[in-house]
Structure 1
Amino acid sequence: MSQVGAKVSRVSRIWVSRLPGERVLARESGSRHDLSMTDLAAFVAGREADSPRWVWDDTARWYPPLLEAGVRVERCHDLRLAHQLLRRAPAVDQGLLDGEAEHWDRLGPSASGEPALFAPDDSLEHLDAYVEDQRQLAAVAASPDAAKLALLLAAESSGALVAAEMTHAGLPWSIELHQRLLAERLGPRPPRGQRPAALEALAAEVRQRLDAPRLNPDSRPELLAALRRAGLDVADTRASSLRRLDHPGIESVLRYKQLAHLFQNNGWDWIDQWVRDRRFRPSYQPAGSTTGRWSSNGGGALSIPAHVRPAAVADEGWLLVVADVAQLEPRVLAGMSGDLALSAAARGADLYEGMVDAGAVASRRDAKLGLLGAMYGATTGESGRILDSLTRRYPQAFGLVEAAARAGERGEVVRTLLGRGSPSIGDAWDHDNDEAPPDPDRMAARRRAFGRFTRNFVVQGTGAEWALCWIADLRNRLWRLGDGQLTTRPHLVFFLHDEVVVHTPEALAESVTREVADAAATAGRLVFRDVAVDFPLNVSVVRSYADAGKPGSDESSARSDGSDAATATGRASFQAEGG
């Protein structure tokens, strides 16, 4: 049995289910407990000393009330996320998930801001956590990829804990600074339903320059019609399309769209809704995309625009440690393919320069163009010419994405390194004309498009798996650095695919920087095992998120050295978290 599987078998499990009458059933080996929600918090706190795995239907429903009660959970198994993942895993016998599968298939993520733990009584409210867990354990145990799936499920569930903790802790936010930024660009806050002064002035300028006195520039159809009446051949109102046009009114339209976006997406109403107690508290959705990447249920958590980032300011006596991974997906491709030549190029701060140094390409630009072309399907023109040469140099890496593309074109499902399956081509197929005879040209185009999707899915999805392992390990490392509650220790406050932000007391900033890098090295070892790939980080220690990566910030390239000691410590840390 693998280390992962062995560790899972030694961790006790406690199953938590909802009962009628707003009661909770907590089931552990040899006993059952009928509890109220208030009782549950004390029950969980009392059991945490034994580091059990809490098995429940949805972390986003159960964990926030525990955090509010001051209870941190070390590990859990999120049945909803796991069921969703296993349902698409090619290496899982779907028959082993039968039973209440139709109910678990319909169980969606808990919505942001739910007023209570319990929703109205229906078929999804009283699902038995124990019974579903047994089905999932049996399905994983019977899979030829059991060890990889166990690691992925543990990382997925740990990510759900991180998401709840980040919403609970919040990203420190200066309302005063944010309001000042808005006033500088938009003018005073307007009455509800009206435009700010600067935006209204720009709207008048747009109308004048396009000779459209009744134009509402917020209406895309009206703006498109006004542009066409002005003699412009334009198919849409996207900024990228407008920049290609030659007309004196285009600059005004672009400035209007930029300020309108700020007002609508990060204006005063956004502050009212999403900033509480001087903290930005968005609603994250782990595995919100098909690749396993996160999305957001609200607040625009995964897109904090540059013009409001200055408002993300650490508390007095605290700092933000901001770390992002250099060239994550190309490094992931090197590791998952086992291509030793590309892995060697990835042993450094710049993988593309490593390819140049190895003589694979003449320039860094060619290296980047070729690799991105391979991963995203730009296989013609200049990119295609470079691809031919790189395929001969890195046959395993480039062969992997090419095989994924061909599989997609045949309508087949592909999988990530740890076992997450892609949607089928039928899930994305347009069924509007199922009654009509199939159009061969249209079907061929769809298959080529699906091939481009599967080509990137295998790499982006595996990158998401690496990132989950990174934050799962980092979460526990940060907990061990301090004392007291979650928010009195260094803690994660932001995560975006390949970037993390940690809020830390000033005295612990250097330690946090080391732990962030060591966790990245550990994630690489966990996911890619025997293939040595560096995951160097760009790390900034700043007061304001806007200063991360700028000259003058306390920035270092925290290169993961993958030392045996760091790897052993990190592996033990993550296994304690996720299995």
Structure 2
Amino acid sequence: MAPRIALVPDAHGPGGRLQRLTDDGTALGAPITVTELAGPVAELEAADHPRWVWAATEPAYGPLLPDLPDRLGRCHDLRLVEALLLAHEGRFGAPRSLGAGWARLHGLPVPADLPDTAGAELQDTLFAPDRLQLPPGTDPLAAVLAVHADQQRRLAAIEDDAERSRFRLLVAAESAGALVAAEIQQDGLPWRTEVHDALLTELLGPRPQIPGTQPARLAELATQLQQALGGRPFNPDSHSQVLRAFADQGIQLTSTRSWELRQVDHPAAELMIRYKELARIHAAHGWAWQDAWARGGRFRPEYVVGGVVSGRWASRGGGALQIPRILRRAVVADPGWELVVADAAQLEPRVLAALSGDTGLIRTAAGGDLYEALAASAFRGDRDKAKLGLLGAMYGQTSGDIGPLLATLRHRYPAAMGYVEAAARTGEDGGIVHSRLGRTCPPPSDAWLDLTEALAPGTDASDPAGRSARARGRFTRNFVIQASAADWALALLAALRRRLLALDAPPADRPHLVFFQHDEVVVHTPANLADEAAAAVAEAAVEASRLVFGDTPVQFPMSTAVVECYADAK
């Protein structure tokens, strides 16, 4: 087992303190005070390959990255681990800062977590006393050691051996994800601003000279919309005004969603769809986005690890979790380098097969296209029906024509359908469910409990209590799958990062992760190492499957492409 070293940066300046620890968190010897951290940390990493213990990864590791000769191997992120443990112990959403953990240990008032802060301000201030949330005069190193030892005790106290082993894996994977997020922000995704600018000009017209002014193409579409809907001026960015403008023409809409507009036989519907598409690009990835996020030939996303209750990542602005397909043309590898773009094929249905152990669904998932195989075995070759039915089962959809599809799935795959339906019943009854590795879903609110307390069997579908219970059932039904898929993705990231670090190349010329969203990774690699990087992705997927699901026959194939431009990957 790797040795552990606690690391506490100085609130201001490059120095800090280091403390060797036993695995249970006991201090070994005296702490070491250094005037700058990068050199001693690099030496200790090369000599001992320790697991670094710190209050939070971004402010501890991020400032070190530019000065480290190589990446650190592993860490224990107290903030992330505290959140996992609190939820597991039934205290979901309790404050998770170092100061909160210290306060709970000493019977002090627990400070609320402060709002997250972006960019340089976060790195400059997060380890100041007010960001740590420690009482005045408290030694941050003493707090790190105490909270870490407490977490190790709580992990060891999980009684079931298998549950404890899986939860420890979750803790390690969540912390490894924090390393990946910090490194992606440091390295950045290659981004050609000249290509981006040309794309925006092609789509929207020239960049407006006056900030806040609407681009020419959007202004033109807005005028065409007004003319198509009777000529009365209205704001196409206002949901209520758009609905009223359509209603004035005798067209009743419940929303401005594209799928609903496509059902409308009126020229304004197509104009509205196009306006929404371009307005979204302008707002989310337009020139203002480029000025803020695409500097120095790199887009540096700021991820929030575990930012969603299912374990999926969130982002601190910048649209890091969804780059529109058309703008992927701006993501171009450096000269002599390539991009390895890989995503897990139909991940969530495969997760359901592995979780449920349904032999029929496992056989269906053994081939390439799971939906094609499902269609051939159960839906007379109709892939759309197969996909609609399986997604409906996982997301709890019951409306429309899905009923017969679900009946077919129950007959063909009783264990898989039973698994998600049991999770739904648990949610409807106010219970909680867990991911494969032990991430815990949020409990129902007090208002939900009050509403559903007297819910009788067979409650009418229109009853608010019944609707609320079924909504929670849909949430827990999907949580067990989506959160387990997030477990798998974290294990994939950790395994892939380790393999890339082990490749025989100088650190500056080594393949490295530059983008991640849900079940897709992008690796920036020297062209001569592209095949090895692609092989590392495939091997990491196999390892993640084994770690998370054990000896399962379910395959988790990665669709992988080696390209110069991200847009060419699909």
1-side partners of 2:42 and 2:111: how far apart? 28
Tell me what 2:494 maps to.
Answer: 472
- Read off the aligned partner of 2:82 and give its amino acid letter: H
The answer on 1:398 being equivalent to 2:417 is yes
The answer on 1:41 being equivalent to 2:38 is yes
1-side partners of 2:334 and 2:111: how far apart? 42
SS at match of 1:113: helix
- Alpha-carbon distance change, 356 to 176 in structure 1, aligned in 2, over 3 angstroms: closer
- Alpha-carbon distance change, 76 to 518 in structure 1, aligned in 2, over 3 angstroms: same
Kindly indicate whether the alpha-carbon contact (under 8 Å) linking 2:58 and 2:182 is maintained by their aligned counterparts in 1.
yes
**Cα offsets for 1:133-170 (capped at 9, x unmatched):** 11111111111221010001100110111111111111
**Structure 2: which 5+ residue stretches go unaligned?**
22-27, 95-100, 135-139
Tell me what 1:345 maps to.
Answer: 364
**Cα offsets for 1:342-377 (capped at 9, x unmatched):** 2232222122344466x4553353443332222111
Kindly indicate whether the alpha-carbon contact (under 8 Å) linking 1:283 and 1:299 is maintained by their aligned counterparts in 2.
yes
Kindly indicate whether the alpha-carbon contact (under 8 Å) linking 1:311 and 1:544 is maintained by their aligned counterparts in 2.
yes
- Alpha-carbon distance change, 92 to 530 in structure 1, aligned in 2, over 3 angstroms: farther
SS at match of 1:494: strand
2-side partners of 1:48 and 1:306: how far apart? 40
Tell me what 1:74 maps to.
Answer: 73
Tell me what 1:16 maps to.
Answer: 7
How much has 1:188 moved relative to structure 2? 1.3
Kindly indicate whether the alpha-carbon contact (under 8 Å) linking 1:478 and 1:489 is maintained by their aligned counterparts in 2.
yes
- Read off the aligned partner of 1:112 and give its amino acid letter: G
1-side partners of 2:491 and 2:412: how far apart? 30
SS at match of 2:561: strand
**Cα offsets for 1:294-316 (capped at 9, x unmatched):** 11111101110012110000111
SS at match of 1:201: helix
Kindly indicate whether the alpha-carbon contact (under 8 Å) linking 1:25 and 1:32 is maintained by their aligned counterparts in 2.
no
Tell me what 2:253 maps to.
Answer: 234
2-side partners of 1:288 and 1:495: how far apart? 14
Report matched runs for 1:390-469 at 5 Å.
390-426=409-445, 429=447, 441-469=463-491
Kindly indicate whether the alpha-carbon contact (under 8 Å) linking 1:343 and 1:532 is maintained by their aligned counterparts in 2.
yes
1-side partners of 2:328 and 2:393: how far apart? 33
SS at match of 2:443: coil
The answer on 1:106 being equivalent to 2:113 is yes
Tell me what 1:121 maps to.
Answer: 129
- Alpha-carbon distance change, 213 to 292 in structure 1, aligned in 2, over 3 angstroms: same
How much has 1:216 moved relative to structure 2? 2.8
How much has 1:92 moved relative to structure 2? 9.8
The answer on 1:505 being equivalent to 2:526 is yes
How much has 1:91 moved relative to structure 2? 8.8
**Cα offsets for 1:199-220 (capped at 9, x unmatched):** 2222222222223454232333
- Alpha-carbon distance change, 177 to 161 in structure 1, aligned in 2, over 3 angstroms: same
How much has 1:514 moved relative to structure 2? 1.1
Between stretches 41-50 and 223-232, larger displacement belongs to: 223-232
Tell me what 1:153 maps to.
Answer: 171
Percent pairwise identity: 46
- Read off the aligned partner of 2:43 and give its amino acid letter: G
- Read off the aligned partner of 1:538 and give its amino acid letter: S
Kindly indicate whether the alpha-carbon contact (under 8 Å) linking 2:243 and 2:252 is maintained by their aligned counterparts in 1.
no
1-side partners of 2:553 and 2:112: how far apart? 38
- Read off the aligned partner of 2:530 and give its amino acid letter: A
2-side partners of 1:524 and 1:311: how far apart? 33
Kindly indicate whether the alpha-carbon contact (under 8 Å) linking 2:54 and 2:77 is maintained by their aligned counterparts in 1.
yes
Tell me what 2:50 maps to.
Answer: 52
Kindly indicate whether the alpha-carbon contact (under 8 Å) linking 1:80 and 1:107 is maintained by their aligned counterparts in 2.
no
- Alpha-carbon distance change, 181 to 164 in structure 1, aligned in 2, over 3 angstroms: same
How much has 1:535 moved relative to structure 2? 1.1
- Read off the aligned partner of 2:7 and give its amino acid letter: V
Between stretches 237-246 and 21-30, larger displacement belongs to: 21-30
SS at match of 2:121: coil
SS at match of 1:114: helix
Tell me what 2:187 maps to.
Answer: 169
Tell me what 2:320 maps to.
Answer: 301
Between stretches 210-219 and 153-162, larger displacement belongs to: 210-219
SS at match of 2:36: helix
TM-score with structure 1 setting the length: 0.85
Kindly indicate whether the alpha-carbon contact (under 8 Å) linking 2:427 and 2:475 is maintained by their aligned counterparts in 1.
yes
2-side partners of 1:383 and 1:215: how far apart? 38
- Read off the aligned partner of 2:125 and give its amino acid letter: F
The answer on 1:321 being equivalent to 2:328 is no
How much has 1:34 moved relative to structure 2? 5.8
SS at match of 1:538: strand
Between stretches 386-395 and 40-49, larger displacement belongs to: 386-395
2-side partners of 1:157 and 1:378: how far apart? 34
1-side partners of 2:271 and 2:329: how far apart? 26
SS at match of 1:501: strand
Tell me what 2:148 maps to.
Answer: 133
Across the two proteins, how many residue pairs are aligned to each other? 532
Tell me what 2:353 maps to.
Answer: 334
- Alpha-carbon distance change, 105 to 132 in structure 1, aligned in 2, over 3 angstroms: farther
Report matched runs for 1:355-370 at 5 Å.
355=374, 359-363=377-381, 365=383, 366-370=385-389
2-side partners of 1:147 and 1:295: how far apart? 27
1-side partners of 2:192 and 2:198: how far apart? 10
**Cα offsets for 1:277-323 (capped at 9, x unmatched):** 10011111111111101111111011100121100001111111111
State the superposition RMSD in angstroms: 2.8
- Read off the aligned partner of 2:522 and give its amino acid letter: V
Kindly indicate whether the alpha-carbon contact (under 8 Å) linking 1:343 and 1:531 is maintained by their aligned counterparts in 2.
no
- Read off the aligned partner of 2:370 and give its amino acid letter: L
Kindly indicate whether the alpha-carbon contact (under 8 Å) linking 2:185 and 2:300 is maintained by their aligned counterparts in 1.
yes
Tell me what 2:82 maps to.
Answer: 83
Kindly indicate whether the alpha-carbon contact (under 8 Å) linking 1:158 and 1:472 is maintained by their aligned counterparts in 2.
yes
2-side partners of 1:136 and 1:68: how far apart? 30
Kindly indicate whether the alpha-carbon contact (under 8 Å) linking 1:103 and 1:124 is maintained by their aligned counterparts in 2.
no
Tell me what 1:492 maps to.
Answer: 513
**Structure 1: which 5+ residue stretches go unaligned?**
1-9, 550-579
The answer on 1:188 being equivalent to 2:206 is yes
- Read off the aligned partner of 1:27 and give its amino acid letter: Q
- Alpha-carbon distance change, 342 to 255 in structure 1, aligned in 2, over 3 angstroms: closer
Between stretches 364-373 and 174-183, larger displacement belongs to: 364-373
- Alpha-carbon distance change, 108 to 520 in structure 1, aligned in 2, over 3 angstroms: farther
**Cα offsets for 1:55-86 (capped at 9, x unmatched):** 11111221111112235211001111111111
2-side partners of 1:108 and 1:530: how far apart? 42
How much has 1:229 moved relative to structure 2? 2.6
2-side partners of 1:177 and 1:28: how far apart? 49
2:223 corresponds, among 189, 200, 204, to 204
1-side partners of 2:112 and 2:420: how far apart? 30
- Alpha-carbon distance change, 451 to 394 in structure 1, aligned in 2, over 3 angstroms: same
